[in-house]
Structure 1
Amino acid sequence: MKLYERYDNIYRSNIELIRDNQIKVDPLPIEGEDRWGVSAVFRPTLPLEVWRDLEQLKTVLGQQHAYYHENNVHITFRSLEAYRDNIGSSDELIKLPMS
């Protein structure tokens, strides 16, 4: 699946939340901040059975794993570098190899 198809699928599957303004948007980053330049966080609603089964698996898997709770589970898509306010056209980090 191509990247744009993935984002289109995410958008279509969340359109009701977007229409109802049930999404949270982070404030714009500022220069020098450690946050990533672009990110989108989705908080899916998972069936209760998932949480029940996860509780049972904890006894087998141990405490070495990170476990989420239904009020903090999320999926994050982010860019590949931290936020920078001014990026010049000759910036080494954005140059693409010529083929």
Structure 2
Amino acid sequence: MDIGEQKEADKVLKSPETVDELPPSEMGTKEYWDTNYSVEIENFKNYELIDEGWFGGHIVRRLIGEFEICLKDVKKDDPIIDLGCGNGVLLLGLANRGHTNLT
């Protein structure tokens, strides 16, 4: 972003105007996510492909490593639950590292 674009973005962010409602997005629909997860399930069943998340596999691997640092005192069979965090790729990564009590 150049300086002109940054100044324009700053003006928009500092504007006293408020937005009452955001424009609709396809990603805000149940149908979008039903289709998205159906494709993921089929890819897994047919090709054993696992979607690595929004930011790519290298970010997922880094997050799993950081997560394990935070869990250094957690035993491999202690329960870990992953709530509302996408397709469970974090749990798959933890399972690959020996964690066994994952939900």
Higher relative contact order (CA 8 A, sep 6+): 1
TM-score normalised by L of structure 1: 0.24
Relative to its length, the structure with more helix (as a share) is 2
**Higher Rg of the two aligned structures:** 2
User: Which one has a larger percent strand, Structure 1 or Structure 2?
Assistant: 1
